[in-house]
Amino acid sequence: MADLVRYTEPLEPDELAFLERRESKDRSLYYKVFQILMVFSFVFPFLGAWYRATDNAPNAFSPGRFFLSASILLVISLVAVYVPYRAHLYKIQIDIREGKKTIEIAHIMRKLQMNAKNTCHFYIDSKIKLSIEVSYDDFTRLNDGDEVSIEYATHSRLYLGYF
């Protein structure tokens, strides 16, 4: 097969709104996860101090030990939230800021109709998307080897549609 053709265009208003809703939902989820991790970062050292106190350990409630443990857990929590943020949410924010989408011309490799779900799918030769759900009219109109154009957000690679 020939090389895939890709080019960029400005996002349409409904696509931009979709990305903004997705970003808002994901951002609130990151905040909730971070809040939970923050609470655990302070609760676990406190529970550890109580456990040491039941064993009659000297200095069971040592402030230095508590803050050291809490600091270590906070750093782990920050890394645990920051890495997925950079890998996912940050890319959506870049897509919103730039306002561009990528259109890729791919070829249909295989057609598949799922009778149980009453859906039709094309398997395509794109590196971004392996299969797309299509309308029944497009399923009957297009054949293996035909070209189909898919649209996705450039950086986050969120699928926006086909034509």
pLDDT by residue, tens only, the chain of 163 residues: 456 688 889 999 999 999 999 999 999 999 999 999 989 988 888 888 777 777 777 776 777 888 888 899 999 999 999 999 999 999 999 999 999 999 999 999 999 988 888 899 999 988 888 999 999 999 989 988 899 999 999 999 999 999 8
Q: What is the pLDDT of residue 95?
A: 94
Shared domain check, 25 and 45: yes
Structure tokens at 114: 């799922």
Please check whether residues 42 and 60 belong to one and the same domain: yes
The separation between CA 91 and the C-alpha centre of its own chain, rounded to angstroms, equals: 9
Structural domain of residue 48, as residue ranges?
12-98
How many domains does the chain contain in total?
2
- pLDDT for position 150: 92
Does the residue 106 lie in any domain?
yes
pLDDT for residue 149: 92
Query: Which among 98, 133, 151 is the end of a domain?
Result: 98
Report pLDDT for 67.
87
Identify the pLDDT of residue 22.
Answer: 95
Looking up tokens 């009659």, which residue turns up?
56
The pLDDT value recorded for residue 1 is 47
CA–CA separation, 1 and 13 (whole Å): 34
Q: For residue 54, is it within any domain?
A: yes
Examine the domain organization and report whether 61 and 129 are in the same domain.
no
Residues sharing a CB contact under 8 Å with residue 19, sequence separation 6 or more, in sequence order: 11, 92, 95, 96, 153, 156, 158
CA distance 81 to 73: 12
Residue 1 lies in a domain: no
* 6 belongs to a structural domain: no
- Please indicate, yes or no, if residue 2 is contained in any of the structural domains: no
105 and 148 belong to one structural domain: yes
C-alpha distance across the termini of the chain, in Å: 20
pTM across the whole model? 0.75
| Co-location of 132 and 78 in the same domain | no
Helix H or strand E segment including 132: strand 131-134
- The pLDDT of residue 87 is 92
Q: Considering 81, 98, 115, which residue would you say is the last residue of a domain?
A: 98
Per-residue confidence (pLDDT) for residue 75, from 0 to 100: 93
